[in-house]
Amino acid sequence: MKEQNIYPSFPVDCKSLVSKYLKKEIFEELKELKTKNGFTLEKAIASGVQNFDSGIGVYAGDLESYTIFASLFDPIIEDYHQFKKDDKHKSNLNAEDLKASNPDIEGKYIVSTRIRVGRNFAKYPLGPAISKEQRENIEKEASSALNSLDGKLRGKYYPLEGMSEEISKQLIQDHFLFKAGDRFLEAAGLNRNWPSGRGIYHNEEKTFLVWVNEEDQLRIISMQSGGDIKEVFTRLTKAISKIEEKVEFLYDNHLGYITSCPTNLGTAMRASVHIKLPNLGANMKKFEEITQKYHLQIRGIDGEHSQSIGGVYDISNKRRLGVTEVQCVQDMYDGVVELIKEEKKLE
């Protein structure tokens, strides 16, 4: 029989935030608690307990997880976002406030720009705690709201179930679709009943896409080739407000938009460019000095936990909570301007 409620041990070189903050006394205080949706501490920490290379290692099953397990979640949130218990989140989705003329008109550095937000339905638990039936209802409600979009946002919903392997492979390779089998999500209970209830909506040009029932119930995405960051942000903000006419999203005055992973709380926004920086890539000290100054994260070009290929990096905002959406994109934009300047110096 599986042993339950035993304080997990982490290797000494484990750097995840869950290993840092899950002290024995916190574990003892929280181990018997359960949210109204039946979400427990054991479920919340499963991803970090099964994946010692996690950066964070916890997921929430519902809004209540963030309060019931606050003595674990709060220090993790404070550490990742530099956001304190009494701070309030602010939202600003007015694209007019962004100062971002294309930093690479010749198209020499920026391959593509993508901005996404995570959103979850107010009336359901989050992905780690939903039932198959709830997930399927979300899919129905999401696809019906999306199918009512018109103009440049008009598109079609494609369920994962029944999608040919060839098409899904191509969509993943072209950076449009999420990957299957992520071990961090698997351990968090986010891959249960795969592929049922999952899918992707996109317009003809694939500049506006929505992932359904991956890590969050919706990932609303605007993307295109090149570096016109403002155009990408403008399209995203219009799409969000259209979808919000049909669906009520989970929002909290303290934590902003509620997401299953605490790194996405607040704006739930990741604004990124795929950018060619081979010289900075060979000078990581300088590279990281700039990314730290502008609160940016470096990822590989096949998404989270992937490697850079051919000197192309995924550069995105790291801050998402306690800063507005405009500020998230501005962080990325200002940092990218500086990165291009430094890359030119090194050429």
304 as an active site residue: the answer is yes
**Annotated active-site residue in 139, 215, 325, 343:** 215
183 as an active site residue: the answer is no
Cβ burial 8-35 (10 Å sphere, 16+ → b, else e): eebeeebebbbbebbeeebbeebeeeeb
Name the minimum Å distance from CB 263 to ligand CIR.
Answer: 4
- Amino acid identity of residue 323, one-letter, is V
Does residue 56 belong to the site contacting ligand CIR (CB under 6 A)? yes
CB-wise, 35 or 260, nearer to ligand ADP? Answer: 260
Among 52-60, 114-122, 167-175, 308-316, which window interacts with ligand CIR (CB under 6 A)?
Answer: 52-60
Q: Closest residue to ligand ADP, Cβ-based?
A: 303
**Annotated active-site residue in 219, 235, 319, 320:** 219
Count Cβ atoms below 10 Å from residue 293 Cβ, excluding itself.
12
Tell me the torsion sign for CA atoms 321, 323, 326, 329: negative
Does residue 271 belong to the site contacting ligand CIR (CB under 6 A)? no
Q: In what order do the strands lie in the sheet with 269-276?
A: 155-159, 199-203, 208-212, 218-225, 110-119, 269-276, 312-317, 296-299
- Amino acid identity of residue 334, one-letter, is D
Among 37-45, 49-57, 202-210, 270-278, which window interacts with ligand CIR (CB under 6 A)?
Answer: 49-57
For tokens 């890590």, name the residue: 215
Among 20-28, 30-38, 96-104, 269-277, which window interacts with ligand ADP (CB under 6 A)?
Answer: 269-277
φ, ψ of residue 17 in degrees (nearest 5): -70, -30
Chain contacts with ligand ADP (rule: CB under 6 A): 112-114, 116, 175, 219, 223, 270, 272-274, 299, 301-304, 314
Q: Any idea which residues carry the catalytic annotation?
A: 116, 215, 219, 261, 263, 270, 299, 304
